[in-house]
Structure 1
Amino acid sequence: MEMERGIIQVQEHSAEHRAKMWKIALNVSGKGDSLSPWDGVLDLPEQTLIHNRSQQLIDQLKVSEEERRDMVSDVESVITFYCKSRNISFTPELSWPHLLKPLLGLQLPRSDLYNCFYAVMNKYIPRECVPNGRPFHLYRLLLQYHEPELCSFLDTKKITPDSYAINWMGSLFSSHCPPDVTQAVWDCYLRQADPFLIFFLMLIILVNAKEAILSDDGGSKEDIINMLEASPSHLESEDIEDLFSLAQYYQSKTPLSLRKMNQNLFGSSLVALKEEDTDLSQALCLPVSVPEILQANQLQQDGVRFFVVDCRPAEQYNAGHLSTAFHLDSDLMLQTPSEFALSVKSLLEAQKQSLESGSIASGEHLCFMGSGREEEDMYMNMVLAHFLQKNKEYVSIAKGGFMALQKHLVDMNIEGLDSSYIHWIVSTSGSHSSLSSADGESLSSPGDGKGVKSLVNKMTFALKSKSVNVKEKMISFIENTATPVDR
């Protein structure tokens, strides 16, 4: 509460007051001297680089010669001890000196300076904030999701996000913003306490510069990168509130999977990214988890709602599909392009109608679902590329495809968490009048057992991958909740 009250009025207060607020926000208020066990020896192989960068930073500040010496020593000591304690090397592209600049304005003792620097690094600077690092691939997918035209233009020019935004991300904009603007940005940033905001703030800065970027089509790659990199320098203190409001608006229009699948970008854990984590550099578009797809359209809310497009072959779709999914046979794209074009037209019309009617299947966010098997999903990837080439916004892919959906539903039902999940998959074969229509308005009724039959028949793959014990639990569950069915 003190933090909330203080930061709102912080512009009117001294550096001392701001220091108090930031230390509360970073949870380092009253923390001891982390540097005390260190002998203070400055002997890293890259020490000359650290010293020179520290001097360059202090040269930007208007301070007396005596203050200058002390501040260079503080910055060099903080960076050196951080490298030694974390067993990492300082390299030229790192933005740590920029990150220390706003903290130096608070006139903190060295121990507090280090604690604040460590806390900002730990909570707000993503791992792999290096050229071609994972955060920049994630940012590109976010840009493509909201601003496909702009993303496509930069891709064509071979301008990658790390080429202009590495210092934005690595310094929380202090590399390019004047000190008063940086302080206003950090006041809001620390109040929100959300590390993922950096992605959305960067997005807004790019959206703001969109007109200038697209009009500079004839400019060289280097000119565009320089213009982009300098964009935050145009911000003024009075712009910051609007900047954050817009960032939060775009965040509300983004699948939560972006955050949930990438939590390990932030925090103190030194555990490497898991092997099964999506390689974002190879991702065609933003991946979305199956649980989010199922939950989003159940909640009558203003957030992200998905219009699911099932791109599997017709026989697979007919055998069993998500009750709210629209079928777009990806094979048609190569076999009969004219039929494919008609199907796309029908898809967009169905999406429009479902939005107008408020259907459970409605959503302005298109989520494409394949089988989850790489060799089969090649055609779906071509369909995805088709929509992306048309600069369609809000395009995503269901991570793991229909196989992940089956596995999730089996897991949910075996756990007995929610028996209604079993009615998510329906079949279009037979004369089941209660099965869902194209827009998903009707579902199998809980007692008729047809949803169960469809689910059992089509879950062979998911069940094969589980133990016999799990299979028995699933069969026992079905026998206790539905009329016996023929396999």
Structure 2
Amino acid sequence: MDELLFTLNDDELQELKNTSSIDGDEDDHLFGTPPPRNRSKSTGSGNENVDWELTLSLETTLQLIEGEPTAPSPNCSEELIQRILDVCRGRGGLPDHLRGKVWVILIGLYYNNKSTKHPLIEIYDLKEQNELRNDCTEFVAKTYSSNSPEEHSSIVSSLESILTSYLKHQKVAYDKSIILGYLQILKPLLTLNLTDTQLYNTFRMIITQYVPRDVFNEHGLPFHIFRLLLLYHEPEVCSVVDSLRVLPHSYASQWFLSLFSSAIANLQSILVLWDVYLQYRDPFLIYHMALVLVLNAKDRLLEIKHSDSSTKKADTIQLLSTLPANLEPSDIPDFLTISQHYASQTPNSYRRMFESALYGNDSFLTLSNSSTSPCRRVAMQSLCLPVAAEELLNSIRMAKSLSSNDSTDSRSSTDAYMFVRFFVVDCRPAEQYNSGRLPTAFHLDCALMLLEPVKFNTAVQGLLLAQKDALNVGAAAGGEHLCFVGSGREEEDQYVHMVVSSFLQRNTQKVALLSGGFQSLHELLYPDNIEDGLADHNPLTCPECVLQKTSVTPSSSTVSRDGSPASDSRSKLFTAKLSLFSSTLKAKSAEMKGKLIDYINNPVASGGSSGADEKHVKSSDKNKSKPYRNLLPVFMIDDDDEPSDEASPSGGLADLDSTTDVTHFHPGTRIRSIKQFLKQHNFHWSCSEVLSDGSHYEGYVIVTRDNLLMIRELDRDTGEVSLNRLLNSIIKITSKKKHPELITFKYGHVVKLPSTSSDPGKEGDEISDKDRGGGEEEETAAEITHSDRFYLPSGSKDFVSNVKRFIDSKNSSDQ
């Protein structure tokens, strides 16, 4: 088709304008007989705006297609579509009289007089037929107010016929909001020179190929995908919109449903937009079009957020929903070029993950409205944009190829750079990282976030410097897109999720997470490419290899006749399993992720071990509650968060079985059934035990008349006692002001001190004997010997309050 793409000089163009009688009538037999009516007035652009070179090229190409002996098939072949694209791509709006012919080719339909894939249904017997007719009548009266009454009737008849046929063929129930969306899609189609049957099939194909399913659901899959894309490219804007509690559905649903037809005021702008959009043949491009619009409103969104308006949410929805309204035809080429740029700067994995769930031959409403739909659940639960292992490995291979080839030809190749380059951050424990990793991966110790926040921040700064240096020198490891890698096991990857969250909270752009973690990489490479694809791989200590061997190798194969080689191998496998189990236990519970993010990102404000945020009770607070162990209550919790002295909703002290004795449950005691054990104790809370090294163990804390018991979960049914403390050994219960969920119990005993004149209400550990009920001549102090920490995502106030009440009750009974 190169011979068609010639350039005309000014004289030839003027002669063509003066002599051409192209009006579309002579070529109508190619696509069928046109309707004997004008559907809409003033839909053309006028000859003064016609691109005559494009017009001539398209006319010539369409005539060649018509002159071919036989049509390829009722569905256009890829070759036929490519011939049209070779002429149209990179151009502006299509000529009005050729638009219909080009569109039906681009969406995969080839019309002739002999066959149409789906005929119209001539029987109008829907239960809501009158409502449907009224909807069509109202739409025509509003949209085509300048047309004559006769034309109104003709258009209403066409619309009703098309929509009735579609509802019956696709078995879609009538809904007014659905019909209004369909009518908006039909608005630009009515300008095409097509029969009703051709119009119906064009309408059906556009819905099937370009309108995403689940678009009417407030929490539908398209809106979760759009939010992930917004979070990927501009987390600050995403944070602003989220903070105002504005859901994408509230402003983007009509964009996705009507392909912007309902949002753009100028009909010619809609036609030009669809001209170029259909040429890209990419249904996901509409998400990036919406993304460009929202990003363009960043400054105005920030103004709304920081304003004193009482209608911030409504103002935001109004702003966003009207963003496309003023697009002019001249704006469309740049608008789509920028949208395509963002699409090219986005990992493609999400397309493969969700394409079959969003587009296809079924109705776009067939995706279940339940939040348990697998694809929707994946999108809802994704912390950031997911990247598949295949895409990550392909990116690394191409980056290596480019960095190793310094020839000018390869550097100048456009196709060589048409992929996303990742800077890989491996967040697995060090022992797993050293047992096998991607050759371009950098290691980041996630455990530092809680244990050593300052060191963690230093590591992050070093990581970002390494990324910058790698980009500057063009190294294979360099990439603008951050891809975080976890193990792929949920119980281990909670620290990884916390790291990713911290980067997003810093408004770091282009943050992605490897879907399935290192486990998915290993499965993809194992066994043939494992050594080439991974660096420093040790199959004896690699957790994934250990699991592979354990699952595929019979147990008898590990035992040799002399016993020695098999024993060594079994020992190494056991060591690797133990390492894997240890890293699993070090991970915190899933419930802690959201609650601890503030604590992680504000280590100074939240306090480390300095106790700057801790508050001792003052002498003026001595009458606020009863003393326990004859000492003042030293709850170091902010006054506003101090536990109540009222009875717990779970019951009073009398509800506890007084015959229950847990004294003999020493640490290490196995609990066969946690559920049965908890039934014997009214006062128990779900929590995590936090050790001094930052390790977390999920389980339950139980309070009895005399003891504080912690049960760690080993699996769903069984548990193990990790600690058993006497209530009368509790000296202090402390908490951070900003994090009352993190409770510290300090244990010890009281020692006598020489008589001093110190203030009994002085802040600190010293408590006078007078306040314990003893003589005024003698003073005592609490000596701390050990401590325990518990994290309760909910019920922390209830927990502390009940512990205090048990201690008060025991002190009263002892006296």
Normalised by the size of structure 2, how large is the TM-score? 0.51
Counterpart residue number, 1:55? 137
**Contact 1:200/1:247 (CA < 8 Å) preserved in 2?**
yes
Does the C-alpha gap of structure 1 residues 466 and 190 become closer, same or farther in structure 2, counting only changes over 3 Å?
farther
Counterpart residue number, 1:73? 157
Counterpart residue number, 2:275? 187
In 2: Cα distance, 1:87 partner to 1:325 partner: 51
1:397 matched to 2:513:
yes
In the TM superposition, what whole-angstrom CA distance separates every residue of 1:354-394 from its partner, at most 9, and x where no partner exists?
Answer: 21222221111111111111111111111111000001000
Question: C-alpha displacement at 1:8, in angstroms?
Answer: 7.1
In 1: Cα distance, 2:510 partner to 2:367 partner: 30
Structure 2: state its 5+ residue gaps: 1-82, 403-415, 558-571, 574-815
**Contact 1:22/1:190 (CA < 8 Å) preserved in 2?**
yes
Question: C-alpha displacement at 1:73, in angstroms?
Answer: 1.9
In the TM superposition, what whole-angstrom CA distance separates every residue of 1:333-363 from its partner, at most 9, and x where no partner exists?
Answer: 1111111111111111111122122222111
Q: What fraction of aligned residue pairs are identical, expressed as a percent?
A: 37
In 2: Cα distance, 1:310 partner to 1:7 partner: 41
Structure (1 or 2) with the greater helix fraction: 1
Aligned-residue RMSD, C-alpha? 2.6
SS in 2 for 1:393: coil
Does the C-alpha gap of structure 1 residues 369 and 25 become closer, same or farther in structure 2, counting only changes over 3 Å?
same
**Contact 2:389/2:514 (CA < 8 Å) preserved in 1?**
yes
The structure with more radius of gyration: 2
Does the C-alpha gap of structure 1 residues 92 and 376 become closer, same or farther in structure 2, counting only changes over 3 Å?
farther
Does the C-alpha gap of structure 1 residues 6 and 20 become closer, same or farther in structure 2, counting only changes over 3 Å?
farther
Question: C-alpha displacement at 1:422, in angstroms?
Answer: 2.3
In the TM superposition, what whole-angstrom CA distance separates every residue of 1:197-251 from its partner, at most 9, and x where no partner exists?
Answer: 1111111111222222222223521121011111111111001110111111111
1:368 to 464, 484, 502: 484
In 2: Cα distance, 1:71 partner to 1:455 partner: 72
SS in 1 for 2:381: coil
In the TM superposition, what whole-angstrom CA distance separates every residue of 1:397-443 from its partner, at most 9, and x where no partner exists?
Answer: 000001111111116x2xxxxx4x5232233xxxxxxxxxxxxxxxx
In 2: Cα distance, 1:310 partner to 1:154 partner: 30
**Contact 2:220/2:376 (CA < 8 Å) preserved in 1?**
no
SS in 1 for 2:523: helix
The structure, 1 or 2, with the larger RCO (C-alpha pairs under 8 Å, 6+ apart) is 1
> Which stretch shifts more, 262-271 or 157-166?
262-271
Question: C-alpha displacement at 1:272, in angstroms?
Answer: 6.1
Question: C-alpha displacement at 1:41, in angstroms?
Answer: 1.5
1:267 matched to 2:350:
no
Counterpart residue number, 1:447? none
SS in 1 for 2:479: coil
Counterpart residue number, 1:244? 336
Does the C-alpha gap of structure 1 residues 78 and 198 become closer, same or farther in structure 2, counting only changes over 3 Å?
same
Counterpart residue number, 2:440? 324
Counterpart residue number, 1:476? none
Counterpart residue number, 1:416? none
> Which stretch shifts more, 23-32 or 204-213?
23-32
In 2: Cα distance, 1:377 partner to 1:205 partner: 35
In 1: Cα distance, 2:549 partner to 2:150 partner: 72
Normalised by the size of structure 1, how large is the TM-score? 0.84
**Contact 1:126/1:266 (CA < 8 Å) preserved in 2?**
yes
**Contact 1:425/1:454 (CA < 8 Å) preserved in 2?**
no
> Which stretch shifts more, 219-228 or 149-158?
219-228
In 2: Cα distance, 1:6 partner to 1:364 partner: 33
Map 1:35-434 onto structure 2 (within 5 A): 36=119, 38-45=121-128, 47-59=129-141, 60-61=143-144, 62-94=146-178, 95-130=181-216, 131-177=218-264, 178-217=266-305, 218=307, 219=309, 220-264=312-356, 265-269=358-362, 275=374, 279-299=378-398, 300=402, 301-302=416-417, 303-410=419-526, 413=528, 419=529, 421-427=530-536
SS in 2 for 1:233: coil
Does the C-alpha gap of structure 1 residues 7 and 369 become closer, same or farther in structure 2, counting only changes over 3 Å?
closer
**Contact 1:426/1:454 (CA < 8 Å) preserved in 2?**
no
Question: C-alpha displacement at 1:6, in angstroms?
Answer: 5.9
Does the C-alpha gap of structure 1 residues 462 and 89 become closer, same or farther in structure 2, counting only changes over 3 Å?
farther
Amino acid across the alignment from 2:207: M
In 2: Cα distance, 1:422 partner to 1:92 partner: 59
Question: C-alpha displacement at 1:137, in angstroms?
Answer: 0.4
In the TM superposition, what whole-angstrom CA distance separates every residue of 1:252-306 from its partner, at most 9, and x where no partner exists?
Answer: 1111112222221212157969847862012110000011111112213433111
SS in 1 for 2:461: helix
Amino acid across the alignment from 2:151: E
In 1: Cα distance, 2:382 partner to 2:483 partner: 14
Question: C-alpha displacement at 1:91, in angstroms?
Answer: 2.5
In 2: Cα distance, 1:467 partner to 1:87 partner: 52
> Which stretch shifts more, 58-67 or 274-283?
274-283
Aligned residues: 440
